[in-house]
Amino acid sequence: MTAAPKLTRPLMLEAPERVADGAGGFAVTWVTLGMLWAEVRVRTGREDFIATVARPRVRYRIVVRGAPFGAASRPKAEQRLRDGTRVFDILTVAEFDAGGRYLEITAEEGLVA
């Protein structure tokens, strides 16, 4: 049996929202949906080279309390978690345990936009 995660880190769950820019296009803003207590652990890291500039990419395993499908408090891909100026782009969400008491999120540290 696995020990229960230690949910000691508060993270803000944010969702993207498209807003008209007045020139026929749109801009993306981030809307806060609420706070989730989490356990955050580093998984892997690598460097990508974009236009000859090194950009570190670090993946994390983030565990939060479970929530039913469709609930606003259930994270999903395309959303992100914020810890101050740090953001974690959500890649996947799955049940952490058979009872669904916790969710396991795979996220990559992103850039504040």
Tens-place pLDDT, residues 67-83: 998 898 999 999 999 99
- DSSP assignment, residue 3? P
Half-sphere exposure for 8 (CA within 13 Å, toward CB) = 4
Superfamily grouping for domain 9-109:
Bacteriophage SPP1 head-tail adaptor protein (2.40.10.270)
Structure tokens at 71: 């609930």
Residue 11 has pLDDT above 80, yes or no: yes
Q: What average pLDDT score do residues 76-100 get?
A: 94
- Would you kindly state where each structural domain of the chain is located, as residue ranges? 9-109
Q: Cβ-count burial of 83 within 10 angstroms (0-12 exposed, 13-18 middle, 19+ buried)?
A: middle
Rounded Cα gap, residues 86 and 24, in angstroms: 31
- Count the Cβ atoms, other than its own, within 10 Å of residue 79: 20
Q: Is 0.85 surpassed by the pTM of this model?
A: no
Rounded Cα gap, residues 60 and 11, in angstroms: 13
User: Kind of pairing, strands 80-83 and 9-20?
Assistant: antiparallel
